């Protein structure tokens, strides 16, 4: 029995790991390459079962895909694909449909004084708000945040942090940081992520970024909560490690700034992006909520469901 599996298993451009596939109890064979995984085993091996029919010997086994992750999240559903060999002829390979794991994603906004912060899911061309609130793994969140400044001087908007949880409590567990360290889109450092800020901005009081869809491991919860801290400051604010929007490039293995010098993103690797009080260094913890830092203006706290 020879079974060949494309490493682009779901056809979404992400290559699965060889170690995540098994055929019954058997591991992939030596013919495996960068694009395909090959199993070449005796039909009676790997725990296959035999069924006798009036016309055929039917050998049956299961191709198992079990994605693994070193983080609290995973971006792919497991799969069990039945494989059957009919003698004297071969059969087919089939799979059940993937069941969506996402529940409605809506938004609430809190404002501080006269600044009105908002954040919405957008269509993939950024032209309008997204009408559907249901996602499947492999989809992408197109997220747009903005601030209405009314009579304020011109202002620029930053996303200091975003954390995902399975409940409305931002301090609950499990949790996963999407943006941290005052504007570092840390989700983009993951091997299976293309998350990034959109460049250039259309307006200073608006910021857009993408996040690859994910779910939490070890829970049946079908809803995630994303809590973000948005901050607006004067448009001529000096760009520095506290005032930045940084995306990670896997091609160059480095951070790039949406505006200003890329040097302001160097702290994204260490997490030491806050100013050091009284000559001492400071590092932020896992959850970042509310305002912090210096030279800030009104801060809005954004929670989405």
User: Any residues with CB less than 8 A from the CB of 117 and at least 6 apart, and which?
Assistant: 109, 110, 111, 145, 146, 147, 230, 232, 300, 302
- Identify the pLDDT of residue 99: 47
* Nearest one of 195, 129, 168, 149 to 304, comparing CA atoms: 168
Please state, in angstroms and as integers, the Cα–Cα distance from residue 295 to each residue in 85, 190, 207, 231, following that order. 69, 32, 20, 11
CA 110 to chain centre: 25
CA 184 to chain centre: 14
Q: Cα separation of 39 and 30, whole Å?
A: 8
- In the three-class reduction of DSSP (H, G, I as helix; E, B as strand; rest coil), residue 162 is classed as strand
User: Are 37 and 49 spatial neighbours (Cβ–Cβ below 8 Å)?
Assistant: no
> How many angstroms separate the most distant Cα atoms in the chain?
85
Residue ranges in the chain whose pLDDT is less than 70? 89-114, 275-305
* Residue entry with tokens 């009919």: 86
| Host H or E run for residue 250 | none
* 185-195 confidence digits (pLDDT tens): 999 999 999 99
Helices in the chain by DSSP H: which ranges? 267-270
Please state, in angstroms and as integers, the Cα–Cα distance from residue 246 to each residue in 84, 125, 261, 268, 279, following that order. 49, 21, 10, 8, 26
* Cα radius of gyration rounded to whole Å, the chain: 24
- In the three-class reduction of DSSP (H, G, I as helix; E, B as strand; rest coil), residue 201 is classed as coil
Handedness of CA 174, 178, 181, 182 (dihedral sign): negative
Handedness of CA 117, 121, 122, 128 (dihedral sign): negative
| Host H or E run for residue 72 | none
- Identify the pLDDT of residue 32: 87
């Amino acid at each position: 029995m020879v079974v060949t599996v494309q490493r682009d298993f779901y056809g979404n451009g992400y290559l699965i790991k060889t170690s995540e596939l098994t055929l019954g109890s058997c591991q992939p064979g030596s013919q495996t390459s960068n694009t395909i995984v090959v199993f070449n085993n005796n039909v009676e091996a790997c725990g296959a079962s035999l069924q006798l029919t009036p016309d055929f010997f039917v050998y049956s086994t299961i191709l198992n895909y079990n994605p693994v992750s070193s983080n609290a999240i995973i971006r792919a559903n497991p799969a069990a694909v039945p494989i059957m060999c009919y003698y004297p002829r071969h059969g087919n390979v089939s799979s059940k449909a993937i069941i969506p794991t996402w529940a409605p994603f809506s938004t609430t906004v809190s404002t501080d004084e006269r600044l009105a912060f908002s954040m919405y899911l957008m269509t993939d061309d950024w032209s309008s708000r997204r009408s559907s609130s249901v996602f499947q793994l492999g989809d992408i969140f197109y997220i747009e945040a903005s601030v209405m400044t009314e009579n304020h001087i011109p202002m620029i908007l930053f996303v200091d942090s975003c954390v995902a949880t399975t409940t409305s409590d931002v301090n609950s567990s499990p949790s996963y940081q999407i943006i941290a360290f005052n504007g570092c889109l840390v989700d983009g450092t993951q091997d299976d992520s293309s998350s990034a800020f959109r460049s250039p901005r259309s307006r200073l009081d608006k910021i857009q970024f993408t996040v690859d869809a994910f779910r939490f491991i070890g829970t049946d919860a079908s809803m995630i909560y994303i809590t973000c801290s948005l901050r607006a400051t004067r448009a001529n604010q000096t760009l520095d490690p506290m005032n930045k929007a940084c995306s990670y490039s896997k091609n160059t293995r480095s951070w790039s700034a949406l505006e200003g010098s890329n040097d302001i993103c160097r702290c994204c690797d260490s997490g030491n992006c806050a100013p050091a009080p009284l000559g001492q260094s400071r590092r932020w913890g896992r959850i970042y909520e509310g305002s912090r830092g210096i030279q800030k203006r009104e801060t809005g706290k954004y929670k989405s469901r």
